[in-house]
Amino acid sequence: MTSISRRSFVVALPLIAVGLASAARAQGDPPANASATLFQNVRIFDGKSGSLSAPSSVLVKGNIIERISTAPIAVEPGVVVIAGNGRTLMPGLIDAHWHAMLIRPTPVQSVNGDVGYNNIAAGAEATDTLMRGFTTIRDVGGPIFGLKSAIDSGIVPGPRIYPSGAIITVTSGHGDFRQLSELPRTIGGMLSRMEQVGGSMVADSPDEVRVRVREQLMQGASQIKLTAGGGVSSPFSPIDVVTFTEAELRAAVEAAENWGTYVTVHAFTPAAIQQAIAAGVKCIEHGFLMDEATAKLIAEKGVWLSLQPLPEDLRLGFPVGSVQRAKADEVWPGIARTYEMAKKYKIKTAWGTDVLFSQALAQQQGAILASLVRWYSPAEALAMATGTNAELLALSGKRSPYAGKLGVVEQGALADLLLVDGNPLENINLIADPAKNFKVIMKDGKVYKNTLGG
């Protein structure tokens, strides 16, 4: 290649990149002449209200809800009609704490297993997630960017993904799954296998934190996830330990805010939570060991609390006598107390599952949501998993990977919809059996399941 042609090629690279990006977006967008869908005679749960609407019709064109009317909507040529017969039309469900790459493998497989196999398994699980009615997930840690691209470009059916990318942790922090044989860490040396696959990144100074945050943003992260305190599943991370310094957390917050987005942190204890809030963190994951003073602080500062009604089967999955089981036994009693304080102090509360390393538990995703009726009405629980979770997703601002409004059934919103056989506001357990009760599943205006015809 001559020097002139080489220079021409280098100059053209940005234009090529723009063209490729445009092509990728075009693959993910519905065509301009996409067929329309008309839902007739449905009662709507809009993602916010405590009751269903009067019998209505809902017209979807492209990937947008174009019209909602209690009067009949004329059927235009090319429109697919779905007869609701009084069934409930509601927004697709949103799980705000999911790890799409960490459902089917074992912990050892997730780090040391074949990357290609793990991605294929995650793709199959993503399809199952969508078929459970979860049209959007916020992924809070894992090598997710490839799977997200495959879903968005139509290669694999799956939910929308708001990716965090690699969990950012400190040496010995929650998310540091290295073995003792991998120590000492060589500063500036080889990355560990855990880091090579993009599961977790170790950052032990404000400067290292900035690098790792910016790397995730460069790859398309919509928000950043750090582990501000000890965790259950990590073998060398005691629950009571505060991991990052406030300066390190501030570095992450600054880097994320420069990109118009936010930091969420894993934290159980009052000390870890309070330090994170002081550093400007916008969302706390878990918080199960918080006290009343910390709950008041979260409410006063308007910080989000992303909670999970973790099932007992998840705790019992840790072997008796293991370090992880002992830590789980310490954390689990705090779940109910935390929900009670969240209600008492009117904290902005999101819902998620945090299922790890268990395909069987993932299949209980809807049942885990339904278990919220221990503290909330069915309408409140469903609103949390739709309209409220969508408000949390909106904190990503321009880093949101999807333009449009999620989590609601209203004119102009994105058409992520479920047609439920029955009234989930009266019987929330309907969502625990999606194979039977979800008659239609639509994401981005495309029907992925329809057992009614039309």
State both tokens at 371.
């278990």
Over residues 271-297, the mean pLDDT reads: 97
In a domain, 344, yes or no: yes
The pLDDT, as a whole number, for residue 235 is: 83
How many percent of the chain have pLDDT more than 90? Answer: 74
Over residues 120-148, the mean pLDDT reads: 96
DSSP letter for each residue of 307-335: E----HHHHHTSPTTSHHHHHHHHHTTHH
In a domain, 269, yes or no: yes
The pLDDT, as a whole number, for residue 197 is: 85
Same domain, 212 and 273: yes
Phi, psi for residue 329 in degrees, rounded to 5: -65, -30
Give the tens place of pLDDT for each residue, 356-383: 888 999 999 999 999 999 999 999 999 9
Same domain, 43 and 139: no
Same domain, 223 and 300: yes
Indicate if the pLDDT at residue 411 is higher than 90. Answer: yes
Same domain, 241 and 327: yes
Residue 426 contacts residue 381 (beta carbons within 8 Å): no
Residues 6+ apart with CB under 8 A from 347: 295, 298, 299, 303, 305, 341
Same domain, 68 and 100: no
The pLDDT, as a whole number, for residue 234 is: 82
The pLDDT, as a whole number, for residue 175 is: 85
The pLDDT, as a whole number, for residue 9 is: 33
Residue 207 contacts residue 156 (beta carbons within 8 Å): no
Domain holding 49: CATH number?
A: 2.30.40.10
Indicate if the pLDDT at residue 1 is higher than 90. Answer: no
Work out the angle between the directed axes of helices 246-258 and 206-219 (0-180°, nearest 10): 30
Work out the angle between the directed axes of helices 334-344 and 292-301 (0-180°, nearest 10): 40
Work out the angle between the directed axes of helices 270-278 and 246-258 (0-180°, nearest 10): 50
* CA 323 – CA 365 distance, rounded (Å): 26
Q: Which domain holds residue 412?
A: 37-92+406-450
How many percent of the chain have pLDDT more than 70? Answer: 92
Indicate if the pLDDT at residue 16 is higher than 70. Answer: no
In a domain, 346, yes or no: yes
Same domain, 351 and 418: no
Same domain, 248 and 370: yes
Same domain, 76 and 150: no
Same domain, 144 and 236: yes
The pLDDT, as a whole number, for residue 454 is: 62
Give the tens place of pLDDT for each residue, 50-69: 999 999 999 999 999 999 99
The pLDDT, as a whole number, for residue 444 is: 97
Domain holding 294: CATH number?
A: 3.20.20.140
| β-pair type (37-44, 56-61) | antiparallel
The pLDDT, as a whole number, for residue 314 is: 85
For the chain, what is the domain count? 2
The pLDDT, as a whole number, for residue 28 is: 39
Mean per-residue pLDDT over the chain, rounded: 90
Over residues 265-272, the mean pLDDT reads: 97
Residue 105 contacts residue 118 (beta carbons within 8 Å): yes
In a domain, 350, yes or no: yes
In a domain, 338, yes or no: yes
Query: Helix H segments across 280-414?
Result: 292-301, 312-316, 323-331, 334-344, 359-362, 365-370, 378-383, 389-393
In a domain, 291, yes or no: yes
Over residues 263-280, the mean pLDDT reads: 97
Widest distance between CA atoms in the chain: 73
Over residues 317-346, the mean pLDDT reads: 91
Same domain, 427 and 296: no
Give the tens place of pLDDT for each residue, 422-453: 999 999 999 999 999 999 999 999 999 999 97
Same domain, 58 and 115: no
In a domain, 20, yes or no: no
Same domain, 199 and 229: yes
pTM for the model: 0.90
In a domain, 382, yes or no: no
Residues 6+ apart with CB under 8 A from 55: 41, 42, 43, 70, 86
